[in-house]
């Protein structure tokens, strides 16, 4: 597979284009499903990019939408072909959040609010191992090792020489005090956070306890933004058995405003570094 082909993003773009064609035709997903003798849920999954789409599906849908320009049909079918390729993460087997990894791999910027732990993109190996083992006590050692390796591989976007991921993270102060692994692990982890926060494209702010109730009180979420204007922003909320992806402009805007409130309530960058440094020294004692 060509290195510039991201199957997750291809599926998403293709789904958006198919939805546009359906809306131009003035048809509902239910009407399309009846024409093709498939379930309405299949049409919805194809359009939101959560399901792999075949070239036959594209051909059938273009037929229903009466797309006469063969160049458009061929372009969509090529996108379908590309979307069935595999990203680097597929080499690790079944990863529960593979859709998110695909989006993160292609994102231009990422804003994260993390209330409980140091976010995955900033984790050291020792911290990641403790988090994965503690969060998945029933998983095998081999399965947990695989998850750790995937997490560390994702971090290459931050240190990439070309077009690194622009990262803005708001950490609740609780994440700094929660001892994961050991005090030694925590010292190394907080020193790692300070090191990465020196990168020009990485910003880390700490939301202090004294703020009290705040806009992120309901839990962790991430906002992914993409360089291509055709790719709308996505809000990602991680779950235990399933994840939530919000793409409607109204939803994205609401979470974006919430994030701005969190940034405003947090310590500034220098104050955040000073707090992280102080706690790292405390762990060293």
* Domain containing residue 45: CATH number: 1.10.260.40
Most confident of 93-102, 215-224, 236-245: 215-224
Burial of 170 (0-12, 13-18, 19+ CB in 10 A): buried
- Would you say residue 249 lies in a domain? yes
- Would you say residue 73 lies in a domain? yes
Q: Mean pLDDT throughout 94-113?
A: 85
In the predicted model, is pLDDT for residue 138 greater than 70?
yes
- 145-153 long-range Cβ contacts below 8 angstroms, 24+ apart: 146/92, 146/93, 146/95, 147/95, 149/92, 150/89, 150/92, 150/95, 150/101, 151/120, 151/123, 152/125, 152/128, 153/88, 153/89
Structural domain that includes position 140? 89-284
Rounded to two decimals, the pTM is 0.77
pLDDT at residue 43 in the model: 87
pLDDT at residue 128 in the model: 96
In the predicted model, is pLDDT for residue 184 greater than 90?
yes
- Would you say residue 106 lies in a domain? yes
**Is residue 100 domain-shared with residue 59, that is, in the same domain?**
no
Domain boundary among 41, 58, 85: 85
Q: Mean pLDDT throughout 50-55?
A: 78
In the predicted model, is pLDDT for residue 125 greater than 90?
yes
**Is residue 60 domain-shared with residue 150, that is, in the same domain?**
no
In the predicted model, is pLDDT for residue 88 greater than 80?
no
User: Per the structure, how many domains does the chain have?
Assistant: 2
pLDDT at residue 24 in the model: 87
pLDDT at residue 227 in the model: 85
In the predicted model, is pLDDT for residue 268 greater than 60?
yes
- Would you say residue 96 lies in a domain? yes
Q: Mean pLDDT throughout 235-241?
A: 83
pLDDT at residue 2 in the model: 37
**Is residue 11 domain-shared with residue 120, that is, in the same domain?**
no
Rounded CA-CA distance 165/52 in Å is 26
Closest CA to 97 of 218, 240, 221: 240
Domain boundary among 54, 85, 116: 85
């Amino acid at each position: 597979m060509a290195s510039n082909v991201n199957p997750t993003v291809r599926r998403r773009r293709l789904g958006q284009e198919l939805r546009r064609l359906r809306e131009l035709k003035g048809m509902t997903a239910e009407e399309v499903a009846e024409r093709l003798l498939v379930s309405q849920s299949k049409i919805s999954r194809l359009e939101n990019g959560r399901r792999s789409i075949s070239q036959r599906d594209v051909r059938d849908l273009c037929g229903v939408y009466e797309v006469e320009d063969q160049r458009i049909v061929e372009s969509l079918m090529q996108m379908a072909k590309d979307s069935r390729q595999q990203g680097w993460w597929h080499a690790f087997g079944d990863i529960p959040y593979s859709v998110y990894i695909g989006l993160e791999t292609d994102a231009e910027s990422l804003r994260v609010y993390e209330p409980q732990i140091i976010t995955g993109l900033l984790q050291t190996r020792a911290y990641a191992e403790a988090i994965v083992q503690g969060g998945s006590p029933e998983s095998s050692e081999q399965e947990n090792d695989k998850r750790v390796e995937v997490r560390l591989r994702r971090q290459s976007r931050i240190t990439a020489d070309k077009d690194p991921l622009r990262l803005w993270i708001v950490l609740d102060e609780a994440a700094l005090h929660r001892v994961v692994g050991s005090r030694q692990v925590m010292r190394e982890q907080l020193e790692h956070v300070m090191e990465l926060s020196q990168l020009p494209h990485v910003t880390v702010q700490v939301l202090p306890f004294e703020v009290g109730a705040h806009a992120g009180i309901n839990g962790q979420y991430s906002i992914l933004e993409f360089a291509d204007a055709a790719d709308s922003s996505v809000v990602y909320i991680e779950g235990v058995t399933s994840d939530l992806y919000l793409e409607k402009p109204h939803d994205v805007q609401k979470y974006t405003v919430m994030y701005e409130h969190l940034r405003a309530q947090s310590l500034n960058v220098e104050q955040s570094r000073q707090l992280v440094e102080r706690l790292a020294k405390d762990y060293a004692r």
